[in-house]
Amino acid sequence: MFKRRALAVVGVLGGLAALLTYSACTNKAAQQKKVDIGASQSIDELMKARGLSDMDVEAALKTYVPSGKHDDYMIFASGGHSGQVLAMGVPSMRLLKVISVFTPEPWQGYGYGGESDKVLAAGSQGGHRLGWADVHHPNLSETNGDYDGEFLFVNDKSNGRVAVIDLKDFMTKQIVPNPLVGSDHGGAFVDPNTNYVIETSQYPTPLGRGYAPLSEYKEKYRGLAMFWKFDRKKGRIDVAASWGIELPPYTQDLADAGKVGSDGWAFINSFNTEMATGGTLEGKPAIESGASQNDMDYLHVINWKKAEELVKAGKAKEIKGVKVLPIEVAADEGVLTLVGEPKSPHGCDVTPDGTGVVVGGKLDTHATVYEFSKMKALIDGKKFEGKDAFGIPIMAFKDAIRGQAELGMGPLHTVFDDKGNAYTSLFLESKVAKWSLKDLKVLEKISTHYNIGHIMAAEGDTVSPDGKYVVAMNKMAMDRFTGVGPLYPQNFQLYDVSGEPMRLLLDAPIGIGEPHYAQMIKVDKLKPAKIYPPGTNPYTDAKDTNAVEGGKEKVVRNGDVVDVYMTAIRSHFTPDNLEVNEGDTVNLHITNLEQAEDMTHGFALNMYNVNISLEPGKHENVTFKADMPGVFPMYCTEFCSALHLEMAGYLLVKPKGEGDADKDKDKPKDEPKTPAKDEPKTPNK
């Protein structure tokens, strides 16, 4: 038994040659067998006590990343209903950070008084503050079809929004609401050079979200493909330069952008060509049933570069200030063409070489591979088999495809490796199917636990996939983990696909639901900052005009507006005691003077819902109304000094009628100064 286990272990560490050498070394193995681990337990005893097999030990070695060492890859995964994005290491599957996006997150001070409040407020829709999001599809910025590690984009399905995350500091810098759609799903995908962030609607509504009865569904309900122009230099979406394409009232689902030879095109699948609207109380079929009657739905094939030209030529109409290419123009000008796709399609994934588009059919057993060159030839030659109800040309299915791979029950999403293979999630079978793009034959299947939805591979949707790892993103966990009540964690499972057969290495419970899409990037492409230059406002990427230097702290009153210029440094705030009047508007301008790595300070203000994170060099501006009289402690929430007691102070709000705090206009209060020499060079031990 020990020899078999040792063979597996050495195979991981040393390769085949070491394995062959080891097989003859029985005496040495016998000696190693008695090596003690922990509390005088041999390896055999430890394995027996914990019920571990040889394969368990091998999987543990392949995923173990020792303390102080780093993972090879990073996953950016949807945080589902949390509204956030998860950053995880591979192969360890350790959670490294929850990136605050669409909802407040107190540890990072996101949405609790600082300038992140403005980012969140910009994402409001319909005059309502949106307190949750349904995050679906994080997508990394690309250069020439490869991840470049600079930005991450993600959509909120529930509220039709797209966010921009800067990977210099893993912070959300912009949330852009779509004023035209009721929800989105095919987002936030990018073209190979991140000229556009592509967002497509899901549930059709009247564009602009106006009212129309369901009896006028065909006439007044529409979908939309939105092309948000991305300004890479500014790191922001340029809303004014963005535009959309009106789509028919089918339920658009997922999208992908062409690459290499198909660059300039986008592909969106859809379901509900039946245009079912439900009506269960009236005895009509529910939407899910009504939308599953036809044998075919439609893949939308979009020439977005031509659409861009038409918008510039004035062919678009304006809806709520957004330029939208009308459906009839898109159809007549060859911008929008349809082709049938098997029943209830879901995945829509362009192959690494850009020659094919793989679509999975939830109610079909195939993955269909569409050939881009065939589709383009049909469009250029105007060879169509008819038009849909909205005048959009339809290509013949058999003329547009390369072929179909018979995979099994419930194929959804597809990712790719570096050997010409595809990996498709099979929801109903709870399996990953590995198949050849060349001959469309299944090579292998492996079980997942359970009901896999999304799937990801190492750089698996770029022009140069890595292979190595595939991750199943499972909807259920059942018996996989210790019970935590009836709401179970969902499960990411890491598979080794570097050889044959595929091997399950690790289960990773996700305590946030419901995760959807994810991408996996090599960590050496990421260049995150360790500190900010002193006084940096991360929301402007520049030194803040109110940045405070040590020794220049002050409090300035102008009528009932009080500006506080504060610094934070181990182990005090300056000033640390503030007195204002009830009803004053207080502007806190706080700079963390630290330049030592990982020396973050927090600033929390009791009862006023203020809590911000001050990473080294960061500046934050906080505004609040002092509308509660009393004494309110303020303190650093980070354990950044030896006692964790020093960084504290008081805000005193004097009640009305009891005399005012100092009202001399522009008179700095006498506060202790922080000499430059006080700034420590290394953290306290």
Residue 20 has what pLDDT?
Answer: 33
pLDDT at 35: 43
Q: Which of 490, 505, 525 is the last residue of a domain?
A: 525
- Among candidate residues 490, 525, 560, the one where a domain is terminated: 525
Residues 396 and 498 in one domain: yes
Closest listed residue to residue 183, CA positions, set 197, 204, 164, 163: 204
Whole-structure pTM value = 0.92
Same structural domain, 555 and 601: yes
- 436 and 502 assigned to the same domain: yes
Is residue 420 domain-shared with residue 442, that is, in the same domain? yes
Q: What is the pLDDT of residues 519-556, one digit of tens each?
A: 999 999 999 999 999 999 999 999 999 999 999 999 99
44 & 159 share domain? no
Same domain, 13 and 143: no
Residue with the larger pLDDT of the pair 383 and 21: 383
Q: How confident is the model at residue 431 (pLDDT cuts 50, 70, 90)?
A: very high
Candidate from 145-159, 314-328, 643-657 with smallest mean pLDDT? 643-657
CB 234 within 8 A of CB 541: no
Instruction: Tell me if 451 is assigned to some domain.
Output: yes
Residues 238 and 387 in one domain: yes
pLDDT bin (cut points 50, 70, 90) of residue 641 is confident
| Overall domain count for the chain | 3
Please state which of the ranges 26-35, 387-396, 494-503, 661-670 shows the lowest mean pLDDT.
26-35
Higher pLDDT, 9 or 224: 224
Tokens of 375: 């589709």
pLDDT at 682 over 70: no
Whether 470 shows a pLDDT value over 80: the answer reads yes
CATH number at residue 599: 2.60.40.420
pLDDT in tens, 232-254: 999 999 999 999 999 999 999 99
Residue 681 pLDDT > 50, yes or no?
A: no
Are 563 and 555 spatial neighbours (Cβ–Cβ below 8 Å)?
yes
pLDDT band at residue 644 under the 50/70/90 scheme: confident
pLDDT value of residue 461: 95
**In the numeric block, which tokens belong to residue 232?**
């890479």
DSSP annotation string for 56-72: HHHHHHHH---TT---S
Given a cut of 60, whether residue 169 has pLDDT beyond it is yes
Q: With contact defined as beta carbons under 8 Å apart, do 402 and 443 qualify?
A: no
Domain termination site, one of 475, 491, 525: 525
Averaged pLDDT score across all residues of the chain? 91
Do residues 434 and 577 share a domain?
no
Long-range contacts of 661-666 (CB under 8 A, 24+ apart): 661/557, 661/579, 661/580, 661/581, 661/584, 662/557, 662/579, 663/557, 663/559, 663/581, 664/557, 665/557, 665/558, 665/559, 666/556, 666/557, 666/558
pLDDT digits (tens, 9 = 90+) for 186-204: 989 999 999 999 999 999 9
Task: Quote the pLDDT of residue 43.
Answer: 86
- Which segment of 78-92, 533-547, 666-680 scores lowest on mean pLDDT? 666-680
Domain of 471, in residue numbers: 73-212+223-525
- Give me the mean pLDDT over the 422-437 stretch: 97
Distance, CA of 108 to CA of 82 (rounded, Å): 15
Residue 162 lies in a domain: yes
CATH code for position 497: 2.130.10.10
Query: Is residue 679 pLDDT above 80, yes or no?
Result: no
pLDDT at 41: 65
pLDDT over 80 (residue 36): no
Query: What is the average per-residue pLDDT within 505-517?
Result: 93
Nearest to 507 by CA among 473, 484, 469, 483: 473
Q: What integer pLDDT is reported at residue 663 of this predicted model? A: 59
